[in-house]
Amino acid sequence: MTVRKRAKDRYRRWSFLSDVEGMKNAIGEMRGLFFPEQPRLHRTAPPPDRQGPANEAWFETTLREKFARHPENALEYPFFGEPIFGEPLVGFVRGDDPIFRRFKTVVGPHHFTPEEILGWQAEKNGVAPPPARDVSVVSFVMPFSETIKQENAAASGWTSERWAQARLLGEIFSQTVVREIVTDLMSRGILAVSPDVTPRFNKKRYPGVGWASPWSHRHMAYAAGLGTFGIHDFLITEKGCAHRLGSFVVHRRLTPNRQRPDDIHAHCLHYQGRNCLRCAARCPVGAIDAVTAHDKEACYRRVARSLKYCNRHYHIFIYGCGLCATGVPCESGIPPPLR
């Protein structure tokens, strides 16, 4: 994806019409459209072991270097050059982990297993789909910068400008980074896929589930041991819940590097019997409470309305909120009583 225009004289005064990348990103999430063609598998490439490693250390190093050096890990006007994300957390989970079958019930039958989505990529490239035992998911947490978190923590009612930019530019950056890695792997003859930039990805209301997607980065991060869910439905990691998440699937047997808690709410003060609910107090529409937890429909309606607000005030085509993920004890880490 091309780098978005950052010059002041091209600042989007009519973003409903001019912020093309923002519109493409939003529609792409909902309809699986506008993504570049999937890279083709180099079927006659030399054996991967003769081209350099694609092991756990390689994935961790590659992701960290991209976050540290990639030019698209930055906000635009009026915050030129400010970084969006700090150093990522990286985790691995094997494709034959029983949790992926559980996701068919917990998330919904529409949710892909790693084996299923990589099988789709294999079919497109005319090769045999690899068995689940030979497949792994690489999951990563992208913590927002302190400046972005502080500004959103000071906001009320609507998301802050930096958070709105980070919501859009951070997503574009994440997809760009994963596409670069997947393209590199495919050119080396290693089957890989980024599920959320394929035509099979789309968010919609599923029966009995509500708004959901067929590939949940949050659930992949939990499966990889990177964090647990809060009452606000954000994933609470060792770097907090003010983040974005990413993941992709690769034809490699990677060794899990983190212990996954059995308690899916292990890092949430409220679920561990501590007085908190700071996220509920931060929600402008009361979509979080101790009885019903997170009302996804009320949250969705508020987030949908933010599109007009962000266009009018920040001249950017994006929706978002994040108020319940900032100004709370789990913003930047696991709350001290639960560490």
Assess if residue 227 is contained within a domain. yes
Assess if residue 50 is contained within a domain. yes
Give pLDDT tens digits for 263-316.
999 999 999 999 999 999 999 999 999 999 999 999 999 999 999 999 889 988
Confidence class for position 21, pLDDT limits 50, 70, 90: low
Residue owning tokens 């983190």:
258
Assess if residue 120 is contained within a domain. yes
pLDDT of residue 317: 87
Asked whether the predicted pLDDT for residue 55 surpasses 70, the reply is yes
Give the structural domain span for 36: 8-338
Give pLDDT tens digits for 116-170.
999 999 999 999 999 999 999 999 999 999 999 999 999 999 999 999 999 999 9
Secondary structure, 3-state, the chain: CCCCCCCHHHCCCCHHHHCHHHHHHHHHHHHCCCCCCCCCCCCCCCCHHHCCCCCHHHHHHHHHHHHHHCCCCECCCCCCCCECECCCEEEEEECCCCHHHHHHHHCCCCCCCHHHHHHHHHHHCCCCCCCHHHCEEEEEEEEECHHHHHHHHCCCCCCCHHHHHHHHHHHHHHHHHHHHHHHHHHHCCCCEECHHHCCCCCCEEECCCEEECCCCHHHHHHHCCCEEECCCCCEEECCECCEEEEEEEECCCCCCCCCCCCCCCCCCCCCCCCCCCHHHHHCCCCCEECCCEECHHHHHHHHHHHHHHHHHHHCCCCCCCCHHHCCCCCCCCCCHHHC
Mean pLDDT of the chain: 90
Asked whether the predicted pLDDT for residue 8 surpasses 50, the reply is no
pTM above 0.75, yes or no: yes
pLDDT of residue 50: 55
Query: Is the CB of residue 225 less than 8 Å from the CB of residue 107?
Result: no
Give pLDDT tens digits for 194-249.
998 888 877 666 666 666 789 999 999 999 999 999 999 999 999 999 999 999 99
The Cα 14–Cα 47 span in angstroms is 51
Provide the percentage of residues in the chain whose pLDDT is more than 90.
Answer: 74
Give pLDDT tens digits for 78-127.
999 999 999 999 999 999 999 999 999 988 899 999 999 999 999 999 99
Assess if residue 1 is contained within a domain. no
Provide the percentage of residues in the chain whose pLDDT is more than 70.
Answer: 85
pLDDT of residue 278: 98
Assess if residue 2 is contained within a domain. no
Asked whether the predicted pLDDT for residue 1 surpasses 50, the reply is no
Assess if residue 238 is contained within a domain. yes
Assess if residue 176 is contained within a domain. yes
pLDDT of residue 199: 84
Count how many domains the chain has.
1
pLDDT of residue 45: 74
